[in-house]
Structure formats: structure tokens, C-alpha cells
Amino acid sequence: MTLTRFVTKNALRNKRRSILTILSIGGSLLLLTFLITIWRTFYNSQPSEQSAQRLIVRHKVSLVFNLPSFYREKIRSIPGVKEVVNQQWFGGQYKDDKPANYFAQFGTDPEEFPKVYPEFKLPADQLEVWKHDRAGAIVDVGLAKKFAWKIGDRLNIKGLIFPVNLELTIRGIFTPPDPTQSIYFNKSYIDEGFPRLKGSEGFFAVLADSPESVPRVAKAIDEEFRNADRPTKTESEHAFQLGFIGMLGNIKAFIMSICLAVVFTILLVSANTMAMSIRERTREVAVLKTLGFTRRRILGLFVGEAVSLSLVGGLIGSLLCFFVVTGMASSGGYFTGMKVTPITMAFALLIAALVGFASSFVPSYHAAKVNIVDGLRHIG
């Protein structure tokens, strides 16, 4: 009998207990993987190649204030700027206020939009049609699938921020690298219904000539408008998005504290099981010792048992999380774009192994130290 087999046999000697422990650890690890995935989606996602090259220019005080349209040409003249396009958040309502029917709507300029967002794949013929239809819109392929939209469909969006209702026609379906949950339409459509907006824009998206020049361009743009009536704040697209997450509240602390609670819970569960099963085996340990097993080896046997139990739990948990998240991401809503990466799963397994180790060390150490005569006399 090899040592691995010995450990496996021992781990399975009380099947019900092992299974309950594994399931308990599995549940906690599922949660831990889920939380790490949220964390990574929010804070660790690497901006795509194009996104790293883009900047967002907005009013310095707040996104709620608009910038004059003529800033666009001024920004264009700044060295390092390749393309600039205006955008306006519309914030309207499709059908009703159910979260399932929520998506973002932006007014923009069809002429230059595809140049600033080259990674949004849009067939050239569709782009041509969109450019010529003032009431045309292009929609994210994911949204088109979700609502079963086709090219030529009508789209009615009720204005909540602006007193304008949009009656759009879908002219194109674009495929972005990551889901955007957005539609884009011609901004001048809002201007017609709400002339006060004419001559001003929500924000500008700028494409720089290289990712390296982004910080320099940001500084140059803010410098240009420093003493203007409406000063600007320019940041990379990634930083801009992180700013939005920050507004949701102190998510980092929220996730961290729950992760800690989870890890501590598995520690308790695992320690409990190991303490129970080791106490039962005091006499066996004494027998092993008489047979010549060293303290170290006995310690290793018990720790190995705990680590393999929690690893199995961890594997089940992180795999389950993978399926759950994949399922949720495809159903849309809050979880769009979430992915459980192999690194996240590896990390969860590492935590499981560490917890197994930490939880079994003290009881195993005590068991290994037991005096042979006392151990043999022990009544379990």
C-alpha cells in the first residue's frame, strides 16, 4: 500500500463526513471564486489594445454638465490626437423600467464614431446606410440577439432626461470585443427635439496615436481648457470606467470582508472535521508509531488528508462557479461580460490547499506527538 493510497483510504473511511465536509468547503469556495471574479472584472480587467489608446474628456465639475461642441476641433489640433468624437448619454427607457430592458443609449457622430472605436466591427454597407439616416441607430450584437432585433426594425426610446422620444430604425449591428449593452444613434436627433442641447456635448472620446502618449495628451487637453469657461477633466477610458464602479460604494471593502468571512468559515469547518477524525484515530497513530513511522511522516499523512479533502472541495466549488457565472453572463443583466479565468480558479484552489493545511496542522501535530503507551491505552 503506497502512502497516497493510505491517505485516500483514510479520507474515505467515514464517507458521509468526508462528503459533507467536501460539500461545505465546495460551497464556500464557490462563493470565494464568485467574489474574486467580481473583483477581477471590476478592478483587474486589462483594457483592450484600442481602449488603452482612448481618452474621455468631460466637464471638470461633473459628467452632468455639457461641454461646448467647438471643443472638438480644439482637441483635434492637440498633438498626439488622432480622432475625436462627441457623445451624449441619452438615458432613455425602452418598453418599461424593468432592469431586463435596460441598455445604454448614446448620441454620437456616425462619421467619426467608427474611427475612434475601430474594434467595433460594423459591416461597411451598414455604416453607409447609418450615416445617411438621421434617425438610424446601430446596436450591440448581444442586445440584438437578446431582443431578437433585425436590421430595419423600429426602436422607440422614451426620453427621461431629455423631453424627446426617439423613434429609431436599426441600420446596423456591430460586434464589439466585449459586450457593451449599448446602442448608438445620431446625436443631432436629440438636438432637433431639444434645441437647448444644440452646440453642446456630453463628453468626447479621443483616440490617441499610441497608448504611451495617453497621459501626455490628457494633460495637454486639460491645460488647453484650464482657464476656459468650462474646464475639462481628461482621463483614460479605463480610469473613466473605474470611476463609475467607485461610485457604487466601497465595493473593495465589501468584497474583502465577505471573502475573509468565507475563508474563516472554511477554516472552521475543515478544522472541525480534522479534529474529529484525528481524535478517533489516536490508537492507530500509536500503532503506526510502533511500526516505525516517524512523527514527521504521521504529520504529513494527516495534513495530506486535510489538504486533499479541501482541494477536492475547492475543485468542485470553482468548477460550479465557472458554470454558474457562464450561465449568468449569457443571460444578460448585471453580470454581462463576467468570466471565471483559470488564474482565478487556481487562486481559489491555492486558498483551499492553504486552509486545509492550516486547519489540520494543530490537531495533527498533537496526534503525532502522542506517547505510544498512552495512545494505545486511549479509548476513542
Partner 1 sequence: MAIPLSYNVRNLRLRKSLTIMTALGIALTVATAVFIMALLAGLNRAFGTTGDPLNVLMLRKGSNSELAAGGVSRDAMQVLKELPGVARNSKGEPLVSGEDILVVVLPRKGGTGETNVTTRFLTPLGIEMRPQIHLVAGRWFTPGQREVVVSSSISRRFEHANLGDVVHIGKGDWPVVGIFDGSGTAHDSEIWGDINQLVTDFERTVYSSVLVRATDPVAAEALKNRGNDDQRLELNGLLEPDYYASQTKSGAPINIVGWIVAFIMAVGSCFAAANTMYAAVAYRGREIATLRVIGFSRPSILTSFMLESLLLSLLGATLGIILMLPFNGMTTGTQNQVTFSEVVFSLQMTPAVVGSAIMFALIMGLLGGFAPAWHASRRDILNALRD
Name the residues that contact partner 1, by CB under 8 A: 16-17, 20-21, 23-28, 30-31, 34-35, 38, 61-64, 99, 158-163, 165, 194, 196-197, 229, 243, 246-250, 257-258, 261-262, 264-266, 268-269, 271-273, 275-276, 334
Nearest to 33 by CA among 376, 373, 362, 326: 326
For partner 1, the closer CB: 307 or 338: 338
- Integer Cα distance of 331 and 340 in angstroms: 16
Q: Smallest distance, Å, CB 35 to partner 1?
A: 8
Contact 318, 348 (CB under 8 A): yes
For partner 1, the closer CB: 176 or 314: 314
Question: What Å distances lie between residue 230 and 25, 90, 224, 336, CA to CA?
Answer: 56, 21, 11, 35
Q: Smallest distance, Å, CB 99 to partner 1?
A: 7
Q: Smallest distance, Å, CB 20 to partner 1?
A: 4
Side-chain-facing half-sphere of 36: CA atoms under 13 Å:
25
Q: Smallest distance, Å, CB 261 to partner 1?
A: 5
Q: Smallest distance, Å, CB 114 to partner 1?
A: 28
Nearest to 173 by CA among 147, 149, 205: 149
For partner 1, the closer CB: 163 or 292: 163
Helix (H) or strand (E) holding 146: helix 141-147
Q: Smallest distance, Å, CB 269 to partner 1?
A: 5
- Integer Cα distance of 161 and 194 in angstroms: 11
60 CB contacts (<8 Å, ≥6 apart)? 222, 230, 231, 232, 233
For partner 1, the closer CB: 70 or 244: 244
16 CB contacts (<8 Å, ≥6 apart)? none
- Integer Cα distance of 75 and 81 in angstroms: 7
Q: Smallest distance, Å, CB 276 to partner 1?
A: 5
For partner 1, the closer CB: 89 or 293: 89
For partner 1, the closer CB: 9 or 196: 196
Scanning the structure block, which residue is given the C-alpha cell 495533527?
364
- Integer Cα distance of 376 and 380 in angstroms: 10
For partner 1, the closer CB: 160 or 372: 160
